[in-house]
Structure 1
Amino acid sequence: MVRAVPEACWGSVEEDGMAISERDRLVLPLLLAIMLLVMPGTAMAAPGEFDLERGAWQSTRVDPAQEGDALSERLDRIFRSSRLAGAQIGVTVRDAETGEVLYARGDEARLVPGSTQKLLVAAAALETLGPDYRFQTTVLTDGEQRGEILAGDLYLKGTGDPTMLPRRYEELAAVLAGHGIRSVEGKLIADDTWFDDERLHPDWSWTDVSSSNAVEISALTVAPGQDLDIGTVIVEVRPGAEPGAPVDVALVPQTDYVTVENRAITTPGGTEESIAVERRRGTNVIVVSGRLPQDSDGTAEWVAVREPTGYAAAIFRDALARQGIAVQGETSFGTTPAGARVLAQLESPRLADIVIPFLKLGNNGIAEILVKTMGRERRGEGSWEAGLEIVEQYLASVGVNVATLRLRDGSGVSRLNLQTAGELTWLLFAVQREDWFPAFYEALPVAGPPDRMEGGTLSTRLRFTAAQGNLRAMSGTAPGVSTLSGYVTSEGGQRLVFTLLINNYMGEPPKSVEDAVAVALAEFRPSPGTRSRHR
C-alpha cells in the first residue's frame, strides 16, 4: 500500500497555486481514457516481447524448463537493438532474496547515472538522519516586546526545510501576530548559516541555472507548490484579451522579489505557440517572450530564482504585512545571536514522508538539501563535500565498493558522477535489511498508476504490461544518459533487483529499451536450474 502524502505537508492544489493543476491537466484526458479501459491497479499482460526494430509485440512463449537461459537470450536480443549502436551499457540483475547475479553485462563499467544517483542519497539520508528526522524553521529576536512593539531585530533562521511553502511562512507570521506584535523596530535578518554559502555546484552547466533542474541551495528557501520545487517561482502565461495584446503573466507565489519583463503577444486562435520563459543570468529578471494563440490554455514554467535566502525573507516579510506587522528596518543576511529568544517555530513532516516527492518526482533540490544536511548533522559543515563523505561512508558500510564510484552531487545533475550497475544493484539488495526500507521502497515511482504521488516519473510508462503496478524504480534522463534501477517481481513470484545504465546513445533517450528490459524481467519464470549469466 502506497503511503499517502500528508495534506498538512503539501496542502491542496487550489491553496498552493493553480499552476499545479494546470500541469497535471495536460495529461488528464489521456489518463481518463486509459482508466476507462483498465481498472486501476490491474496490469494487462502484453502478448510477448516488444520488437524494438519493428515497433510491435511478438510471441515469446518458452518452455518453462528453459526460462533461465531464455531470460539471458531475451536480454541479449534487446541489447542488440540498433538504438544502442555505439552506446555504453551497464546491466545487472540479481535475485532480491539471495543476491545471486542472474544477468550481467558491462556491470563494472563506470557510467554517468543521472537521477539514479538519488537512490544513494535517499538510502544514506534515511540511515544517517533517520526516518523521523524533521527540519526546523525558527523566528527569533534579540529584543524585548513592549506592548505591540518589538524593540529589536527579527531573525528568520532556516535549516533547509524543503516543505516551506508560502502558507507555512504565513503560519509563522500568524504566531507573531498572536503574540500581539504589530511593529518591529529593527531589521528582518535572514539566517541561512546552517549551510555553507556555495549556492550552485561548480559542475552544473550555466545553461541549467534558471530552470528548476539546478536551483540554488540555501538553508532558507521557498517551494511554490506541492511538488516542493524549492527556490523556484511558477510563471503562468495565458492569452491576453485580444490578438495583438500582451499575454497575461502571473507569478505563484505573487512576489516583488522577481521582476517580469513581458515581451510576449497574443495571436489569433489556431496559430503556432512559441512561448519562452527565462531568467536573465545574474539577475531576478524573468523575460517572457514569443507568441501565444488566443485559444490556448496557456502554459506554466518553474523558474529558479537567484538567491533563495532573499526570496524566503521577502515571502516572510509579505506574510508579516498581511498579518498587520510592519518591519521598520531593511532586510539583510546575518547570524542569529546566541542569546536570541524563540518567538515561533515550524517543523517539517518526517523525512520518511519527504522522500516520497523526492524519489517519486525526482526532485533535484531535495537531493542537494539532504546531502548538505547530512554534512551539517554529522560533520558540523553543511557542504557538498562533507555530505557526500557521509554518503560514501554509508555505502561502504553495506558492502558497496566505493572505489568504483565518483560522487559529485546528490541529484545526478553533474556529468562527473560515475556509478557501476553492479554496485548500484548491490546497494538496492543490501538496503532491504534496513529498518527504514519500507519507507524507501514505498517512495520509489511505480510503473503505470496515473496518480503522480504513486506513479511519479513512471506514471505513463509500461501500461498494459506485466510491469504495470509491479515495477518500482528510479529513472534518469540527461543528454546521452538514460537509466533505470529498482525492483520488479517476476511471473514466477521472484523479486528481482536490477540496474540499467545507458550512456552515449544518439537521438532520443532509449526508453523503449528500458521498458523492454522491465517487461522481460516481469515476465521471467525462473526454473530450479537457472544459471548466472555474466557478459
Structure 2
Amino acid sequence: MRRALVLALAVPFASVALSGPSAFAVGEDPGTTANDPGTTAKDTAPDGVLGADDRQMAANLEKRVLDPRLGADVSGVVLDAASDTVLWGHHASTALMPASNVKLATATGALTVLGPDHRFTTKVVHGHGTLTLVGGGDRTLTTADLTELAKTAAAGLKAAGVSTVKVAVDDSLFPEPTLADGWNTGYYPDSVAPVRALVVDGHGVDDTSLDAGQAFAARLAAAGVTVDGAVTRATAGPHDVPVARHRSAPLSDIVHTMLKTSDNDIAETLLRATALGAGRPATFEGGTEVVRGVLSLRYGVSLAHFEMYDGSGLSRADRIPAATLAEILDLLTEPRHRRVLGSVLDGLPVSGEAGSTLGPEWGRFDDADSRCAVGKVHAKTGTLTGAVALSGLTQGKDGRWKVFSFVENGSTAAPNDIKDAMDGLAATVNGCWA
C-alpha cells in the first residue's frame, strides 16, 4: 500500500497540488492532539480535499521551488501527517544524493534492530601478561571512561601482585573495509574516521583503535602500572580474564546526539552494530542490507530507486527520493512507533536551536523569509558539495502537522544561499512565510 504513494508521486504535479491517500495511516488515536508531531490530529480532512491554507502553501511552494539558488535538480514533497494526504510534490520520486538525510534511515534501522535501551560495552581483559582493551562499538567513549577502566584494571592487577603488563587493543568486532564506497579522500579522517570498533573522544585519526589504546596505556601508567613496550593490535583470547568494563549511554541518547549534530562517525558505528544485531557481518554491505530490510519489511517504506552505501550519507553514491525520506519521517507521527523511534523525533534539530545543525552558528533560519519559522521546524539537515537536503516536520498554518522533504543536487549557488532557500521552503510549509 505504501508503494501507492511513490507511484502517485511519479506523476508530475500541477500548479495546484494533487492529493491522495498514501495508505500508511494507522487510524486516529483519540487521546492525541495536533500539538505534538509524534501524534495524529483528530480532525482529519476528507481524502482528496485540501483546505485553503494547504492550497496556498502548495501554490507558494510551486513558485519557490524554482528559486534559482536551488538549481534545476530539486525533489520535494509535503504530506499531511494525520491523513497521509500528499499536499504537494515536485519530482518527489526522483532519487538524488541525500547527504546526511541518510542518517534518518540509519537511526530507524539501529533503533528497530537493537532497541532504544541498547548499550555498547568496552571491556578490558587480562591474559598472558597482556591487558587488552576490547572495542564494542561505543563511539561516545571518553578519556574519563578510559581513566575509570584503567583505575579498575590497575587495582585488580595490584591485588594479584602484577605491576607490569603489555597493552593491546582488540577492534576485531568491525572487519575491514574501514572506508565506504563513494567517500572522497578529503572526507577522512576529519569528516569521518575510518570505521573501527574502538575510539576515544571521537578523535579524527586514521587508526582510532591504537589511539585509544595509547590513551588507555597512559592512564594505566598514571595509576601506577608499568606498561611494557608499545601498544599493539591483538585479539582477546577466550580464556582471558575480564577485569573492567564500561557501558555506554542508551542507544536512544546516542541517536539523539547523532541527529542533533549530524555526527558521521556515530552513524557509521550504528550501521555496523545494526548489522551485528541482525546476525549479519558488521560491514557497510551488511549494515545497509539490514536497514533496507527494516524499512521495507518492518515498516513498509518503498525502496524504489533507494541506494545506500554507508550510514552517514557521506557516500556520493547514495541516492534516496524525497518521497522515501518523507515516508521514514511519517513513521514518527504514528503513536505505535513512539517507544522505539521516539529518539529520532526528539533528535531532529529545531530551527534556531543553538548547538544543532539548524542553529544560528550555521546561519540557519536567519533571513527575512525564514526567520518567522524559528522554533517551529524539526528537521534533519544534509550538506555535501553539490547536495543540500532538509527533511522534517512542522505545524502548518492550519494547526496540522506536515511532513516534508526537500533535496537539491548540483546548484552552483553559494552553500549558504542554498540553505537560505531551503529554509524558506520549510517556512512556506509552516505557513509563516505566506
**1:462 aligned onto 2:374:** no
Structure 2: give runs of 5+ residues left out of the alignment: 1-49
CA contact (8 A) 2:123 2:245 kept: yes
Q: Report deviation, 1:475.
A: 0.7
- Give 2:347's aligned amino acid: A
Could you say which structure has the larger radius of gyration? 1
Q: Which residue of structure 2 aligns with residue 521 of structure 1?
A: 429
Counterparts of 1:399-438 in structure 2 under 5 Å? 399-433=300-334, 434=337, 435-438=339-342
Q: Report deviation, 1:68.
A: 3.0
Match for residue 133 of structure 2 among 150, 156, 170: 156
**Secondary structure in 2 aligned to 1:195?**
coil
**1:68 aligned onto 2:54:** yes
Q: Which residue of structure 2 aligns with residue 17 of structure 1?
A: none
Q: Residues 525 and 113 of structure 1: is their aligned pair in 2 closer, same or farther, counting only changes over 3 Å?
A: closer
Q: TM-score, normalised by structure 1?
A: 0.67
CA contact (8 A) 1:134 1:347 kept: yes
**1:474 aligned onto 2:374:** no
C-alpha RMSD of matched pairs (Å): 2.0
**1:165 aligned onto 2:66:** no
Q: Which residue of structure 2 aligns with residue 486 of structure 1?
A: 392
- Give 2:172's aligned amino acid: T
Q: Report deviation, 1:506.
A: 0.6
**1:139 aligned onto 2:124:** yes
Q: Residues 68 and 507 of structure 1: is their aligned pair in 2 closer, same or farther, counting only changes over 3 Å?
A: closer
Q: TM-score, normalised by structure 2?
A: 0.82
Q: Residues 66 and 306 of structure 1: is their aligned pair in 2 closer, same or farther, counting only changes over 3 Å?
A: closer
**Secondary structure in 1 aligned to 2:221?**
helix
Counterparts of 1:431-446 in structure 2 under 5 Å? 431-433=332-334, 434=337, 435-446=339-350
Distance in 2 (CA, whole Å) between partners of 1:97 and 1:421 is 19
- Give 1:507's aligned amino acid: A
Counterparts of 1:43-442 in structure 2 under 5 Å? 66-85=52-71, 87-143=72-128, 152-179=129-156, 181=158, 183=162, 185-211=164-190, 213-223=191-201, 230=202, 232=203, 304-397=204-297, 398-433=299-334, 434=337, 435-442=339-346
Distance in 2 (CA, whole Å) between partners of 1:444 and 1:67 is 25
CA contact (8 A) 1:183 1:326 kept: no
**Secondary structure in 2 aligned to 1:436?**
helix
Q: Deviations along 1:465-514, whole A, 9 cap, x unmatched? A: 44211211001111110100011111221001000000111121211211
Q: Deviations along 1:31-51, whole A, 9 cap, x unmatched? A: xxxxxxxxxxxxxxxxxxxxx
CA contact (8 A) 2:424 2:433 kept: no
- Give 2:410's aligned amino acid: N
Give the aligned length. 371
- Give 1:414's aligned amino acid: S
Q: Report deviation, 1:72.
A: 1.6
Distance in 1 (CA, whole Å) between partners of 2:389 and 2:233 is 41
For structure 1, which segment, 359-368 or 65-74, has the greater mean C-alpha deviation from structure 2 after superposition? 65-74
- Give 1:439's aligned amino acid: S
Q: Report deviation, 1:353.
A: 0.7
Distance in 1 (CA, whole Å) between partners of 2:342 and 2:254 is 14
Q: Residues 72 and 142 of structure 1: is their aligned pair in 2 closer, same or farther, counting only changes over 3 Å?
A: same
CA contact (8 A) 1:490 1:525 kept: no
- Give 2:127's aligned amino acid: D
Q: Which has the higher helix share?
A: 2
Q: Residues 75 and 343 of structure 1: is their aligned pair in 2 closer, same or farther, counting only changes over 3 Å?
A: same
